[in-house]
Amino acid sequence: MMTDSNPTHFLDIDDVSRDELLTILDRASEYKRAQRAGDDHAALEDRTLGMIFQKPSTRTRVSFETGMTQLGGHAVFLGEDDIQLGRGEPLKDTSRTLSRYVDAVMARVFKHENIEVLAEYSSVPVVNGLTDDAHPCQTLADLLTIREHEDGFDGVSAAWVGDGNNVAQSFALGCALTDIDLTVATPDGYDIDDEVLERARALGGDPTISTDPVDAVTDADIIYTDVWISMGQEDERDVRMDDFEGFQVCSDLLEHAPDASVMHCLPAHRGEEITDAVIEGDRSIIFDQAENRLHAQKALLSWLLE
């Protein structure tokens, strides 16, 4: 185990520069080729990742755990009820203790301030596996997928349709870092936070904000959506279903973007924010996107632990 009094953390996508982001994506592509060729890429032998989960997960847990195994390391699953965090231990104590045991920490938590506390008191890199405000590891996979399917980022336009949630917010910052022309269409009251838009503009991005899904997707290269009802919002279901009427990514909407590929971070509520026909259609790159969580996160971990 190696510790550092000033480690590099990854709490949102703009914690890395454009050059650093491209380095991570290049490494992800290399790891993807290596895995498919059966070539060894055990860059993290004898390293351990501690994984804190306050929220359940499929893709985040399996991709990080599998990724560490493929890199020659080991991952330890730490559910909230499996450690003292679930019995009232302060986050700062958990963070300082884990720093003495593991080489990096990945945490999937509710409040973004919780990941910030973990990072503040950690002497090893802390990775945001998801908070209510941000999902930067998803954005790494999104950008890797777009670069693969669009042969780079030059001239690419993307449309986000639906809730301006944590995935949307990190994606907006990722588009700004890579010069992707982004239009965001959300119902009134479900916008991306102004502070996030200001950060995107400071990076050189200029997201177009709209309440019209048709206008947003017209001639787009990428159409991206996510669930309208996230974990913890179940009691808002009836209101949200009404508010998001007309925002479904369906075959009719795709007619306005005849060359667009469709993305979704999963899990999807089929028949709500996206139709089954679109997910299963030949314009869906959703499962390439899901696979790329594995490759992008391996690249991130090895970059952080170099």
Q: State the CATH architecture for 138-290.
A: 3-Layer(aba) Sandwich (3.40)
Tokens linked to 275: 């139709």
- Residue 89's pLDDT is 87
Q: Report in angstroms the alpha-carbon separations of 10 from 119, 127, 273.
A: 9, 5, 29
Binding-site residues for L-ornithine, please?
166, 226, 230-231
Taking the C-alpha atoms of 112, 114, 116 and 117 in order, what is their torsion angle to the nearest 10 degrees? 170
Binding-site residues, please?
57-60, 84, 108, 135-138, 166, 226, 230-231, 265-266, 293
Binding-site residues for carbamoyl phosphate, please?
57-60, 84, 108, 135-138, 265-266, 293
- Residue 80's pLDDT is 82
- Residue 233's pLDDT is 79
- Residue 297's pLDDT is 98
How would you class 163 by CB atoms within 10 Å of its CB: exposed for 0-12, middle for 13-18, buried for 19 or more?
buried
Q: Where are the alpha helices (DSSP H) in 77-131?
A: 91-99, 112-120
- Residue 4's pLDDT is 59
In this prediction the pTM is 0.96
- Residue 88's pLDDT is 82
Angle formed at CA 148 by CA 132 and CA 257, multiple of 5 degrees: 75
Q: Answer yes or no: same fold for 9-135+293-305 and 138-290.
A: yes
- Residue 3's pLDDT is 57
What is the helix (H) or strand (E) element at residue 19, kind and residue range?
A: helix 18-37
Tell me how far apart the alpha carbons of residues 285 and 106 are, in angstroms, rounded to a whole number: 26
Residues involved in catalysis = 108, 135, 138, 226, 265, 293
Name, in order, each residue with C-beta under 8 angstroms of 195's C-beta and a sequence gap of 6 or more.
none
- For the chain, 306 residues long, the average pLDDT of each consecutive 10-residue run is 77 98 98 96 97 93 98 95 79 94 97 97 98 98 98 98 98 98 98 98 97 97 96 87 97 97 98 98 98 98 96
For the chain, helix, strand, coil in percent to 5 are 45, 15, 40
Q: Report in angstroms the alpha-carbon separations of 110 from 2, 148, 230, 279.
A: 28, 31, 11, 28
Angle formed at CA 81 by CA 13 and CA 138, multiple of 5 degrees: 20
Say whether domain 9-135+293-305 belongs to CATH 3.30.1490.440.
no
> Where along the chain do its domains lie?
9-135+293-305, 138-290
